[in-house]
Structure 1
């Protein structure tokens, strides 16, 4: 993050703190700062931006008040998670008892993930591709080891990494909210059900097709891969778990 922040020149008709806040907020919107990322300590950040600490502190307080930054004890400022528990908690409760809630979330994912896949194929950076590839590798390793819980975790992380590669802050936050729900469902399903070996191979191939399309910068192929995968998942859920209980 050393090279992320740049000198802030005092604006002619606004407060310096507003200009500082604008640069930090722009990094969040453009995806260079992601939820959970920690900002440098105030002393270091003021040095990087070449501003006074009082002006920086005023900017940070403004961003905190607007819900863009959060303060963690002994950790300083971090980028806030925009998705509120008021969205995810009711869905988690519904998914415990209502199969239709699971199907509804998957239906929404079908639309969202085709869009994120296309945008990721067009916008993914080298860093994004590394994160996507790492998640795919970890998921495959866990599947081969028969570790359902870890496989589910990396499964969700893979899809989230694709969403983050879209560099669309609205989509990223929506997907983060959904995956806090879906991660729990996927983990429970993988641990509760014995997935057919053929289905595991299909899941691996579907995820690989998505990864390959994003890496190749082919949005049409990425959309096709996302559609095939989510259709497969929705079919499995709709059959009451006879198909693959994965995302």
Structure 2
């Protein structure tokens, strides 16, 4: 799930008119959800802050939130607040995830899917990214470099995740944003692969950093072909690295068996 830190409402929500206050609040929040700005699991501002930002009374706000909850778009947790409800469900159920862990071809199918979707997203992002999108990506690239220089694996993983998310968001395609958010969260949790393993193949992690810089800068500079190629090359590198790693593990396993047998002679 995305981080559930409360939003700052001032720049996100706008005061509504007075023709139908509750309906206007519903429409504004629905628009933010549909556009992929408010994603599943995101906590809305406090009732007080949200009512003040929208310029409505708290009873009218509660009426709007109740309507959104009846439509399955938000969930209110007593003592915690109101959150955007799960919208796309789980990308894969636990049984299928377990199968992927045991079935090597399925894992590479997952990478193939990501490669095509992220290539498409990167091309759209380079064509459509706004000034705000580009500023966000530039900030994440700085964090990527900082984390690499300081050899901070946790920060590197988070910056990696944030970059891919920011580029998909910059595609401005709501369906792509919602679907990839579900896939990215599984990747972030290490369900499909451990990013640290790639670093062992890479040696220092510098290649991963360079790939991320190329991808992010191509989007910032508005070069669709370069951005798409950078995304495709990055996922292809991930695939090649895992194939190499798996082959090496298999060779080591066979070598260990030969070593043990030689001792029995």
Task: Bin the TM-score by the shorter chain.
Answer: 0.7 to 0.9
Match of 2:201 among 176, 195, 198: 195
Paired residues, number: 239
Distance in 2 separating the partners of 1:189 and 1:211: 19
Q: Which digits, 9 at most, give the CA deviation of each residue in 1:7-52, with x for residues without a partner? A: 32344xxx64233211111122234434444333323323332333
Aligned residue in 1 for 2:213: 208
Relative to structure 1, the CA distance from residue 50 to residue 148 in structure 2 (aligned partners, 3 Å threshold; closer, same or farther) is closer
Query: How far 1:71 moved relative to its partner?
Result: 2.4
SS of equivalent residue, structure 2 residue 209: helix
Gaps of 5+ in 1: none
Match of 1:177 among 176, 182, 187: 182
Contact 2:201 2:245 in 1 (8 A): no
Query: How far 1:149 moved relative to its partner?
Result: 4.9
Relative to structure 1, the CA distance from residue 101 to residue 65 in structure 2 (aligned partners, 3 Å threshold; closer, same or farther) is farther
Match of 1:100 among 84, 96, 105: 105
Aligned residue in 2 for 1:233: 238
Distance in 2 separating the partners of 1:3 and 1:151: 29
Distance in 2 separating the partners of 1:173 and 1:135: 20
Query: How far 1:240 moved relative to its partner?
Result: 4.5
Query: How far 1:86 moved relative to its partner?
Result: 6.4
Contact 2:202 2:208 in 1 (8 A): no
Distance in 2 separating the partners of 1:70 and 1:153: 27
Distance in 2 separating the partners of 1:211 and 1:28: 25
Relative to structure 1, the CA distance from residue 70 to residue 131 in structure 2 (aligned partners, 3 Å threshold; closer, same or farther) is farther
Relative to structure 1, the CA distance from residue 51 to residue 142 in structure 2 (aligned partners, 3 Å threshold; closer, same or farther) is closer
Aligned residue in 2 for 1:9: 17
